[in-house]
Each structure stands twice: as structure tokens, then as C-alpha cells.
Amino acid sequence: MLQGIFPPLATPFDAEGALDLRAFESNLAAYASHDLGGYLVLGSNGESPYLDDDERVKLVRAARKGAGRKSLLVGTGQESTRATIAFTRKAADLGADAALVLTPNYYKSQMTPEALRRHFEAVADASPIPLLVYSVPAFTGLTFQPGLAAALAGHPRIVGMKESSGDLSLLGRIIAAVPSHFEVACGSAPVLYPALCIGANAGIVAVSCCAPAVAVALYRAFTEGDHARARRLQDVVTPLGLAITVTYGVAGLKAAIDLAGLRGGHVRAPLLPLPEAARHEIQALLERAQQVAEASGGVRSATARA
């Protein structure tokens, strides 16, 4: 299930903060021309905490239609086990291929490995579709331990995880702790190539929302054994990835999507819009990434602006 590059889809909003479903569908149509492994909807880059239930349903339905035969992962994690089970079942009814379940974190001091194990296993027991665990310490404040990953890998319906810490040591220890059938996706573009080298199966990275051809080219170079090319591409993916996640966040990602000729739209309050000076920085990083990808072969100049 987790093979290749998966864009964690952004959720476009108009200037008044309303969901722009047509822009979302337009982006999916553009992504269809790329050799992607699938899509993630309702992830962190989709501003999922700011969506209401009706919007979530509309987005999953549109994503299922736009994804075609490609895998569709849906973020279903809620703070309670009960609510997570309910939305995971709803996502399955809407056509999700797998649920990506974020670690509950509001009562983080109480989210011990045992509490988390029971949570994920209860959701998996009740889920009609496979589960992927989602670890993103920058937002949850919780570091996912390799021992917990190993314990969960024994459940027949928990098939993998997205690990977004950017900590290669942690990622390597998780990969070493789980069986080979348990798939691990890298969720941090600045470490995508080294993550693949140590055993990650896929990349679910924000860069692929604004520069899908570049991210796909890096993954393809790795799978073809062209490590020199993969390293060259990583050199330009790293600063772009840092800019649109760590430095400027979702506002930076949405600006990058706009600059790539797609439709990022506005962020939803209380997130702030991107300063204009930052747009010039992101544009330069995007153009540099595209130039390097073209120079290293196989990427058409219009691809990232499809």
C-alpha cells in the first residue's frame, strides 16, 4: 500500500474562509498526470483540525473520485477512541483504502505507550479498512517509540505508519523494530532520500503538493539505484521542504502550490497569511528545484506547473 510518493493534500479555502471544493478537485486533476503512489486527505497539511464534519465528508468523497484507482489514505484520528472509530468507519464507507490515525495528544502526559497501544488496537479491531499510525511530534508533543511500533505491528489490521519527526535515528530504530511487512512512510521531505536508504517504503511529503514531479523524480532515482541523482534532488528538496513546513507552515505550502500553477487558496483562521517577502523566497526555491530536476533528466519544464 505504501509505495512511492503521496501528496498530503492541502485544503483550499476562499478569502472568506469557506471550503473551495472546486479548487481541491482541480488540484487532484492536475496531480493525476504524475506517477504518484496515491493521496492523503485530512492530514496536517490539509488543516484537518480546522474542518467540520460536513467538510471532511465532502473532501473524502471528492478525493475518492479524483484519486481514481490510486490508493487513498484518510486522516481519521480524533482525541477519543470512540470518535476515531466512528470517523474511521465513515471514511471506509466513503471509499478510503486505509485510515491514517494520529496519536491522541490533548492529555499528552497520560498518553503512555500502554494507553496508545490500547487506543490503536481498539480502532483497528473496529475498522473495516487497514490502519496506518501517524506520528508527528512537532504537533502532538509525543515521540513514537520503536517498541510501541513493534507491538502494534502484530495486529493484522495495523499495516504501517507515517513517521514525521524528521529524526533519522528514530526512524531507523522503528524500521529495525518492525517486521518487513509493516510499511513505514517518511513524512519529512528534508530527510526523504536518507529515509529511503534506511528502509522507508514511501514519502508522504508536503513538497509533492507543489513540486510533484521533483518528489517523484527523487523517489524514482532511488528505486533505479541512481543515488547521485537522488542526492542532487535531495539537495534542492531539503530547503524547499523546510520553507513550506518548518519555517512558514501551511501558509507557505499553500503559497507554493499557488506559485506552481495549482490552487492553494487561503489558510483558515487563526492561521495567518504568508508575508509577501516569503513568497519570493519560496518561488526561488521552487524554480531551483525544478531546474535541478530538469538538468538531471526526465522532468519536463511544465510538469510541476501542470
User: Which one, of 139, 254, 261, 116, lies nearest residue 188 by Cα?
Assistant: 139
pLDDT at 302 over 80: no
Mean pLDDT of all residues in 15-27 = 97
Per-residue cell: 142: 509525543
pLDDT digit string, tens, across residues 268-280: 999 999 999 999 9
pLDDT at 227 over 70: yes
Read out DSSP for 237-280? HHHHHHIIIIITHHHHHHHHHHHTTS---BPPTTSPPPPHHHHH
Mean pLDDT of all residues in 211-223 = 98
pLDDT at 143 over 90: yes
pLDDT at 140 over 50: yes
pLDDT bin (cut points 50, 70, 90) of residue 216 is very high
**How high is the pLDDT of residue 1?**
85
Share of the chain above pLDDT 90, in %: 96
Distance between CA atoms of residues 300 and 306, nearest Å: 10
* Average pLDDT value over all residues in the chain: 96
Q: Catalytic residue among 90, 108, 162, 254, which?
A: 162
pLDDT at 288 over 70: yes
Residue 5 — left, alpha, or beta (φ > 0 → left; ψ -120 to 50 → alpha)?
beta
Per-residue cell: 126: 473496529
Mean pLDDT of all residues in 226-239 = 98
pLDDT bin (cut points 50, 70, 90) of residue 306 is very low
Known active-site residue 58: no
pLDDT bin (cut points 50, 70, 90) of residue 299 is low
pLDDT at 255 over 80: yes
pLDDT at 305 over 70: no
Alpha-carbon Rg for the chain in angstroms: 18
**How high is the pLDDT of residue 278?**
97
Mean pLDDT of all residues in 103-111 = 97
pLDDT bin (cut points 50, 70, 90) of residue 301 is very low
Long-range contacts of 176-184 (CB under 8 A, 24+ apart): 176/146, 177/146, 177/147, 177/149, 177/150, 178/146, 178/149, 178/150, 178/153, 179/153, 182/149, 182/153, 182/158, 183/1, 183/2, 183/3, 183/159, 184/2, 184/160
Three-class secondary structure of residue 109 per DSSP: helix
Alpha-carbon distances of 31 from 48, 71, 89, rounded to whole Å: 20, 13, 27
pLDDT digit string, tens, across residues 152-164: 999 999 999 999 9
pLDDT digit string, tens, across residues 27-45: 999 999 999 999 999 999 9
Degrees, nearest 5: CA angle 180-185-189? 145
pLDDT digit string, tens, across residues 162-189: 999 999 999 999 999 999 999 999 999 9
Share of the chain above pLDDT 70, in %: 97
pLDDT at 14 over 70: yes
pLDDT digit string, tens, across residues 68-93: 999 999 999 999 999 999 999 999 99
Mean pLDDT of all residues in 94-111 = 98
